A and B are shown apart, each in its own frame.
Chain A
Amino acid sequence: MTSLKVSIAGVTLKNPVITASGCCGFGQEYDKFFPMERLGGISMKGMTLLERQGNPPCRIAETPAGMLNSVGLQNPGVEAFLEKELPPLLGRDVVKIANVAGSTIEDYCGIAERLDSSAVDMLEVNISCPNVKAGGAAFGTSCETAGKVVSQMRRYTTKPMMVKLSPNVTDIVSIAKAVEDAGADAISLINTLLGMRIDINTRRPILHNNVGGLSGPAVFPVAVRMVWQVANAVKVPVVGMGGISKWQDAIEMMMAGARAIQIGAALFSDPFTPVKVLEGMEDWMERNGVKDINEIVGTVQPW
């Protein structure tokens, strides 16, 4: 028997496959394709203290091997999350990760405090949303502010905190170290890369927000590189994502140093991607005599 069990910041996941924030709502939609219990975890839609309506449409553009989005953190706010979205998840055997965003440090702390007594298993601190003007990525692009968000939040929560990094920085390693020093229990990356598409007939950007976040297979090599760099520089577990669309990608990401992986945009083209990734990983483990998936984490042998 192979074991897929992994542990992130003291939370045990039955397998390393998590659906990525913003791509799987609050878990209910893809549960209509396959039971969410198949997954190790779900990272839910980024939530803010108060409800947000998000950006006007158009919010999505197709790109070669990927897509841009500019949803702009549309979400019902933390109270509505606790009242309406979390209760249906109670009793479901899947790790529940709340993705938290804000435009001030007080926002982040307020949500952390509100979620502290909830059934959420872990916080994913989103300091990397490229689609909201004030905040989001603004925190994730400087070591000082990134660290400050994390150390301040720490005072309001006992939940494990996984900090999600933006790839839109010149030195991802220094940001990773800053959040680790500030008390992050885990690090996840990458959020989307800032991009743009233009309709050449109208000479207008396709996205109403003009720019948006790139995800999907196109970003995979960038994500692997960044996960590898960060995993080599920090001691806390790293959760890798960005462009994973098949089991081979998941194995590759884990070899780069990820303890678990998240799947986002690939859900849109094939809703069963997480299940196929899991089945493929298990087959591969059996064929290669790997008994425990943890054995492969960070095993790439650099030249």
Chain B
Amino acid sequence: MAYLQGSCPIVKKRQLTPTIFDFTLSCPQMAQQAQPGQFLHVKVDGFSLRRPISICRIGKEESTLRMVFEVRGEGTAALSQLREGDQVDLIGPLGNGFPLLSPDKKVVVVGGGIGVPPMLETAARYGSNATAIIGFRNQGAVILEDEFRALGCDTRLATDDGSAGFHGFVTQLLDQRLQEGKPDLICACGPAGMLKGVVKLAQEAQVPCKISLEERMGCGVGACLVCACKTVKDGREIFSHVCKDGPVFDGNEVVLE
């Protein structure tokens, strides 16, 4: 399939927390091709490198894609200043997303912090058959909880400090969930430490597990080889590339450090 690039207008902008923004972009062709877990490579005026941002929701009928991002540095800060009607130069949809099982399968999605947004479209496919386990630093950082609930997902919230939901980590909630019964698939996105814990639990419970990784990117399409991540293929450690081989990998093949 051809790669798409285009200038796409922001049709809706929301601010979810003091540092997290939510853009809905009108991009008809990209929206038709997009799958949960794929990402957009976003140009920010004045910066030489594009910023990879996951697709949070796909509006096939509305021809929109939604991305939710946190201001982390100068590029995302500049991006957050854009307004409704402004154009954003995007390449996408890029990378391999989460596997698409039949919607009646039992799927657990696990998101930590800014790793939560890509899990929303993934959970949407399974609706009430999905368990959404989402974790944040504190109550002020909680995003998208109501949307997981609105999709009918069995939504379980954790915060590190206990200011909302369960006091603890998403891995503890995942452990509980796995004791209730074996799901068909676990999908996760979040910090490396969290992913490590998720993969370990999945392996113990012998449940297939897919995780979405982050690495700094250049091209975003597999041509420059900068986005290396360590994986094991045929018993051998090699550097795969997050943009092209991922960002979603099998939990068993990634070497998380």
Interface residues on chain A, size class:
35 or more
B224 near A32: Cβ-Cβ < 8 Å: no
Given A60-B49, A62-B48, A265-B48, A74 and B2 touching (CB < 8 A)? no
Residues of A within 8 A of B219 (CB): 23, 29, 267-268, 271
B215 near A29: Cβ-Cβ < 8 Å: no
Residues of B within 8 A of A22 (CB): 224-225
Q: Of A5-13, A50-58, A86-94, A156-164, which binds chain B? A: A50-58
B191 to chain A, nearest CB (A): 16
Question: Does B227 count as interface, using CB distance less than 8 angstroms?
Answer: yes
Given A25-B222, A25-B223, A69-B218, A53 and B238 touching (CB < 8 A)? yes
B228 near A271: Cβ-Cβ < 8 Å: no
A58 near B215: Cβ-Cβ < 8 Å: yes
With contacts defined as CB atoms under 8 Å apart, how many contacts are there between chain A and chain B in the complex?
102
Residues of A within 8 A of B1 (CB): 32
Question: Does B216 count as interface, using CB distance less than 8 angstroms?
Answer: yes
Question: Does A39 count as interface, using CB distance less than 8 angstroms?
Answer: no
Q: Which of A21-43 contact B (CB under 8 A)?
A: 22-25, 29-30, 32-33
User: How many angstroms between the C-alpha atoms of A67 and B227 in the bound complex?
Assistant: 14
A77 to chain B, nearest CB (A): 13
User: How many angstroms between the C-alpha atoms of A23 and B226 in the bound complex?
Assistant: 10
B49 near A54: Cβ-Cβ < 8 Å: no
Residues of A within 8 A of B47 (CB): 62
A138 to chain B, nearest CB (A): 22
Residues of B within 8 A of A265 (CB): 48, 218
Chain B 215-257 interface mask (CB, 8 Å, partner A; 1/0): 1111111111111111000000011000010000000000000
A53 near B224: Cβ-Cβ < 8 Å: no
Interface residues on chain B, size class:
20 to 34
A29 near B49: Cβ-Cβ < 8 Å: no
B48 near A71: Cβ-Cβ < 8 Å: no
Residues of B within 8 A of A130 (CB): none
Residues of A within 8 A of B3 (CB): 29, 32-33, 271
Interface of B is mostly: loop
A74 near B217: Cβ-Cβ < 8 Å: no
Residues of A within 8 A of B43 (CB): 269-270
Question: Does B57 count as interface, using CB distance less than 8 angstroms?
Answer: no
User: How many angstroms between the C-alpha atoms of A263 and B219 in the bound complex?
Assistant: 13
Question: Does A65 count as interface, using CB distance less than 8 angstroms?
Answer: yes
User: How many angstroms between the C-alpha atoms of A55 and B221 in the bound complex?
Assistant: 19
B40 to chain A, nearest CB (A): 14
B223 near A29: Cβ-Cβ < 8 Å: yes
Question: Does A216 count as interface, using CB distance less than 8 angstroms?
Answer: yes
Question: Does A240 count as interface, using CB distance less than 8 angstroms?
Answer: no
Question: Does A59 count as interface, using CB distance less than 8 angstroms?
Answer: yes
B5 near A58: Cβ-Cβ < 8 Å: no
User: How many angstroms between the C-alpha atoms of A65 and B48 in the bound complex?
Assistant: 6
Question: Does A66 count as interface, using CB distance less than 8 angstroms?
Answer: yes
User: How many angstroms between the C-alpha atoms of A58 and B242 in the bound complex?
Assistant: 12
Residues of B within 8 A of A248 (CB): none
B135 to chain A, nearest CB (A): 24
Question: Does B91 count as interface, using CB distance less than 8 angstroms?
Answer: yes
User: How many angstroms between the C-alpha atoms of A216 and B218 in the bound complex?
Assistant: 12
Question: Does B66 count as interface, using CB distance less than 8 angstroms?
Answer: no
Q: Which of A250-300 contact B (CB under 8 A)?
A: 265, 267-272
Question: Does A217 count as interface, using CB distance less than 8 angstroms?
Answer: yes
Name which of B49, B217, B225 has the most chain A CB atoms within 10 A of its CB: B225
- Supplied contacts A32-B3, A69-B224, A268-B220, 13 more A-B pairs, CB within 8 Å: A23-B223, A29-B221, A32-B2, A54-B225, A59-B228, A60-B224, A62-B49, A65-B48, A69-B226, A74-B239, A217-B48, A268-B48, A269-B50
Closest 10 CB pairs of A and B: A29-B223, A60-B226, A25-B223, A59-B226, A32-B3, A29-B221, A268-B218, A57-B228, A62-B49, A268-B219
A-B contacts, 7 listed (Cβ < 8 Å): A56-B228, A60-B49, A60-B217, A60-B218, A265-B48, A268-B50, A268-B218
B contacts, CB < 8 Å to A: 1-3, 5, 43, 47-50, 75, 91, 215-230, 238-239, 244
